[in-house]
Amino acid sequence: MSVCVKIKGGLGNQLFQYALGKKISKDLGAPLLLDTSYYSQKSFNGNDPREFELGGFDLKANKAKSSDLPILAKIPFADRLLKRLPKLSFTGMLYEEHTQGNIDPKKTPIYLDGYWQTLSHIEEVEDELRKDLVLKNIPDTYKPILKEIRSSNSVSIHVRRGDYITNSKNKNLFGECDREYYQRAIEKLQDETKELRFFVFSDDIKWAEENLDLPKNTEYVDKISPNIPAVSMYLMSQCKNHIIANSTFSWWGAWLSNSPSKKVIAPKNWYINGWSSKEMMPKGWILL
């Protein structure tokens, strides 16, 4: 018996998928396999091409072989069919977009395909996740800024634009956090905490420099080369406070932070279409 989870999307989505797989495999006492076939396909169904980013962490899982996958999982874009059948569960295969759904442990092996952006299953394996999500290696080029982050009252600011602007599918689903959101968040932290040092993580540094009213000693982390998502997320997690975007990438950066007095500010409206993000927000996070 095994539990196999399909890994897809960017690093933030990959971590939510890994977390659910971790939880189910723990519940059943079964090994966890990761189906990474998504990243070898030629077309991404309107999404921007991504890469498997979990290899930099010390995960307790192996990559699945083709023989480990159910037949339906091998059909390109089978998720289009499965989307029409929510809460589908047969012969151990479960597809559901955003919630955990009902998993029948008697139907094995289990194959999971979805996004699973909820806090509940993460909290059940929090200790294990924090042990697994440790970087194997930090490039030397990042070590000076890591030292600055750790030695200051650091605030990570994540500005995600990129595919939220250029990809019509994502633009119509998420939209973007505007200048007003960031300025309100910055001012709120400045009112409550002194001597802050800001570290900006963004795929559009030019926009951040031109639109955010930040001190001159602000660091723009993504100017560092090479740009490695797992390392950027790790640096984000080392900050003591966080202003996140409507992005699972910075959600994980803030969640992984072990700062005992951390303040996290998140956008109240995560989706344009009204989907609620309450299931993924920890207690104490400030929604603006």
Report the C-alpha gap between 217 and 220 in whole angstroms: 10
Q: Are 201 and 232 in contact (CB under 8 A)?
A: yes
Closest by CA to 161, choosing from 221, 207, 116, is: 207
If pLDDT is split at 50, 70 and 90, which confidence band does 70 have? confident
The 10s digit of each residue's pLDDT in 117-133 is 889 989 999 999 999 99
Write b or e for each residue in 152-180: b if 16 or more Cβ atoms lie within 10 A of its Cβ, otherwise e.
bebbbbbbbbebbeeeeebeeebbbbeee
Kindly report the backbone phi and psi dihedral angles of residue 113, in degrees, each rounded to the nearest multiple of 5, phi listed first: -135, 110
* Cβ atoms 236, 140 nearer than 8 A: no
Residue 140's alpha-carbon distances to 106, 137, 144, 240, 279, in angstroms, are 48, 9, 8, 22, 37
Nearest Cα neighbor of 34 from 59, 57, 56, 9 is 59
Q: Does pLDDT of 116 surpass 70?
A: yes
Q: Tens digits of per-residue pLDDT, 7-57?
A: 999 999 999 999 999 999 998 899 999 999 989 876 666 666 789 999 999
Confidence of residue 272 (pLDDT cuts 50, 70, 90): confident
* Per-residue pLDDT tens digits for 228-269: 999 999 999 999 999 999 999 999 999 999 999 999 999 988
Residue 127 pLDDT: 96
Looking up tokens 């966080």 gives 242
Which three-class secondary structure state does DSSP give residue 287? strand
Give 218's Cβ-side CA count (13 Å radius).
Answer: 21
The reported pLDDT for the residue numbered 90 is 46
pLDDT confidence band for 77 (50 / 70 / 90)? low
Q: What is the distance, to the nearest Å, from the Cα of residue 232 to the centroid of all Cα atoms in its chain?
A: 12
If DSSP codes are grouped into helix, strand and coil, which group holds residue 95?
strand
Residue 253: its pLDDT value, please?
Answer: 98
Q: Taking the CA of residue 113 as centre, how many other CA atoms within 13 Å lie in the half-sphere pointing to its CB? A: 27
Rounded Cα distance between 223 and 226, Å, is 9
Model's pTM, two decimal places? Answer: 0.88
Whether the CB-CB separation of 280 and 244 falls below 8 Å is answered with no
The reported pLDDT for the residue numbered 104 is 65
143-192 confidence digits (pLDDT tens): 999 999 999 999 999 998 755 555 555 545 556 788 899 999 999 999 99
Q: Evaluate whether 44 touches 149 at the Cβ level (below 8 Å).
A: no
pLDDT in tens, 193-229: 889 999 999 988 889 999 999 999 999 998 877 789 9
